[in-house]
Structure 1
Amino acid sequence: MEVVDIWTGRHACALRSALRLTNEGFAEALGTSVRAVAKWNAEPDLVPVSEMQRALDTALMRASPDEKKRFSLLLAPDQRATQASDALDVEGTQVSRNPFAASIELRLDHDPDVNDVLDWLDEHAEWSNGEARKQVSDLTKKIDIRAVKDASRRRSRVSRSAIAEALAGFYSLDSSDYELYWAGSRIETSILTRPEWLDLRLVMGQGRDDLSLRSNTGPSIGSLDAKAAQAAAVRIAEVLATDTRLVNRPLYQLLEVEIGPQCIKGSLGLTHFSSYALTMDLLERELLDAIASGAPITSDSLPLRERYLASIDAVIDVSNRLCAGGPLALFAAARPRDRRRSTPDYVLLVQERSGRVLNATRRLAVIPKSFHEPLVDFSDDAQISATLERELEEELFGRTDVDSTEGKRRNADPLNLNRLSGPMRWLMDNANTDQWRMECTSFGFNLVSGNFEFASLIVIDDEDWWARFGGRVEANWESEGLRRYSSLDRDGLDSLIHDPSWSNEGLFAFAQGIRRLSEINEDRVRSPLE
Structure 2
Amino acid sequence: MDLTSGWTGETACALQAALRLSNEGFAEHLGIGVRTVAGWHQKPDLRPKSEMQQLLDTTLEQAAAQVKDRFAALTASSDAADEPATTDAEDRLSADRNIGAALDWIDERAGWEPGTARRKTAARLVQLDARSLEDRGKKRGRVNQRDIAHALAEYYADRPDGHGLYSVRYGDHESATSILTNPDWLDLRVPLIAAHDRLRASTAADAELSLDEEAAARAVDGLAETLTLGVRMVDMPLYRLLGVDFDGGQVGGALGVTRFVEYALTMDLLEGELVDVLAAGRTPEPGSLPLRDRHLPDVAAVLDLPARICAGGTLALCAFARPASPLRGEADFLLLVQERSGHVVNAARRLAVTPKGFHQPLTDVRADAQIGATLRREMEEELFGRDEIDNTVGDQRKADPMHPSRLSEPMRWLLDEPGRLRMESTGFGLNLVSGNFEFPGLIVVEDEEFWHRFGGQVEANWEASNLRQYSSLDGEALADLVRDVAWSNEGLFALLQGLRRLADLGGERVNLPDIEWELR
Give the TM-score of the pair, scaled to structure 2. Answer: 0.92
Residue 87 (structure 1) aligns with: none
| Structure 2 residue aligned with 1:515 | 500
**Structure 1 Cα separation of the partners of residues 391 and 156 of structure 2:** 34
Does the CA contact (< 8 Å) of 1:81 and 1:102 recur in 2?
A: no
Aligned residue for 2:472?
Answer: 487
1:271 to 236, 258, 280: 258
**Structure 2: runs of 5+ lacking an equivalent:** 516-520
The answer on 1:52 being equivalent to 2:34 is no
1:373 aligns with 2:360: yes
User: Any conservation in 1 of the 2:42–2:230 contact (CA below 8 Å)?
Assistant: no
Equivalent residue number for residue 89 of structure 1? none
Query: Which residue of 152, 169, 172 corresponds with 2:157?
Result: 172
Per-residue Cα deviation, 1:199-224 (whole angstroms, up to 9, x for no partner): 11111123212111123234432x21
- Are 2:415 and 2:421, in contact at CA under 8 Å, matched by a contact in 1? no
Residues 469-508 of structure 1 mapped to structure 2, 5 A cutoff: 469-508=454-493
What's 1:421 paired with? Answer: 408
Residues 226 and 191 of structure 1: CA distance in aligned 2, closer, same or farther (over 3 Å) = same
CA positional deviation for 1:264: 1.3
**Residue 5 of structure 1: aligned partner:** 5
Note if contact 1:333-1:459 (Cα within 8 Å) is conserved in structure 2: yes
Q: How far, CA to CA, are the matches of 1:136 and 1:361 in structure 2?
A: 23
Separation in structure 1 between the aligned mates of residue 277 and residue 13 of structure 2, nearest angstrom: 36
Contact 1:210 1:266 in 2 (8 A): yes
Return the alpha-carbon distance in structure 2 between the equivalents of residues 77 and 377 of structure 1.
Answer: 50
Q: Does 1:106 align with 2:91?
A: yes
The code of the aligned residue for 2:71 comes to E
How much has 1:196 moved relative to structure 2?
1.4
Where does residue 90 of structure 1 map in the other structure? none
Alignment match, 2:135: 150
1:332-364 Cα shifts (integer Å, max 9, x gaps):
110000112332101111111011011201000
Provide the C-alpha distance between the structure 2 equivalents of 1:69 and 1:342, rounded to a whole number of angstroms. 62
Structure 1 residues 40 and 350: alpha-carbon distance in aligned structure 2, compared to 1, 3 A threshold = farther
2:342 corresponds to which residue?
A: 355
Between the aligned partners of 2:92 and 2:36, the Cα distance in structure 1 is 24
Match of 2:429 in 1: 444
CA positional deviation for 1:59: 4.1
Corresponding residue SS for 1:158:
coil
Q: RMSD of the TM alignment (CA)?
A: 2.2
What is the Cα deviation at residue 114 of structure 1? 1.1
Taking the aligned partners of 2:35 and 2:291, their CA distance within structure 1 comes to 39
1:252 equivalenced with 2:239 (yes/no) = yes
| Letter paired with 1:248 | D
1:226-265 equivalences in 2 (<5 Å): 226-260=213-247, 262-265=249-252
From the superposition, tell whether residues 215 and 35 of structure 1 become closer, same or farther in structure 2 (CA, over 3 Å): closer
Contact 2:159/2:299 (<8 A) preserved = no
Q: For residues 168 and 71 of structure 1, what CA distance do their matches in structure 2 show?
A: 55
The structure-2 alpha-carbon separation of the partners of 1:131 and 1:79, relative to structure 1 and needing over 3 Å to count, comes to: farther
Change in CA separation of 1:225 and 1:10 when aligned onto 2, cut-off 3 Å = same
Pair 422,71 (structure 1): closer, same or farther in 2 beyond 3 Å: farther
Counterpart CA distance in 2 for 1:170 and 1:215 is 35
Q: Choose from 191, 196, 199 the match for 1:211.
A: 199
**Structure-1 separation of matches of 2:293 and 2:80:** 41
CA distance in 2, matches of 1:340, 1:23: 43
Give the superposition deviation at 1:37: 3.3
Does residue 24 of structure 1 match 2:24? yes
Unaligned runs of 5+ in 1: 83-100
Secondary structure of the residue aligned to 2:479 is helix
Q: Is the 8 A contact 1:18 1:71 kept in 2?
A: no
Give 1:69's aligned residue: 73
- Name the counterpart of 2:393: 406
1: CA distance between counterparts of 2:238 and 2:175?
32
Deviation, 1:505, is 0.2
* Between 38-47 and 154-163, the greater mean CA deviation after superposition: 38-47
Q: Which residue identity does 1:196 align to in structure 2?
A: D
CA distance in 1: counterparts of 2:19 and 2:41, whole angstroms: 15
Distance in structure 2 (CA, Å) of the matches to 1:278 and 1:81: 30
After the TM superposition, which of the residue ranges 103-112 and 253-262 deviates more from structure 2? Answer: 103-112
1:25-50 CA-partner distances (Å, limit 9, x unpaired): 32344343344334555666655322
Letter in 1 for 2:223: I
CA distance in 2, matches of 1:404, 1:324: 17
Measure, in 2, the Cα distance between the counterparts of 1:77 and 1:405. Answer: 34
**Which residue in 1 is equivalent to 2:272?**
285
Q: Deviations over 1:392-450 (max 9, x none)?
A: 111111111111213432111111111110011112212x22x2210000100000000
Matched residues in 1 for 2:501 and 2:120: separation?
50
Cα pair 1:445 1:451 within 8 Å, conserved: yes
Would the aligned equivalents of 2:23 and 2:395 in 1 still touch at CA under 8 Å? no
Higher relative contact order (CA 8 A, sep 6+): 2
Contact 1:251 1:273 in 2 (8 A): yes
- TM-score for the superposition, normalised by structure 1: 0.91
Superposed displacement of residue 528, structure 1: 4.3
Q: Secondary structure, in 3 states, of the residue corresponding to 1:280?
A: coil
**1:342 and 2:329 aligned:** yes
User: C-alpha separation between the residues in 2 aligned to 1:450 and 1:513?
Assistant: 22
For 2:166 and 2:43, locate their aligned partners in 1 and report how far apart those are by CA, in whole Å.
36
Question: Is residue 329–residue 369 contact of structure 1 (8 Å, CA) maintained in 2?
Answer: yes
8 A contact 2:244–2:254 mirrored in 1: yes
Task: Say if 1:220 and 1:321, in contact at 8 Å, map to a contact too.
Answer: no
Using the aligned pairs only, state the percent identity: 49
Matched residues in 1 for 2:320 and 2:119: separation?
51
Cα distance change, pair 311–6 in 1 and its aligned pair in 2 (3 A): farther
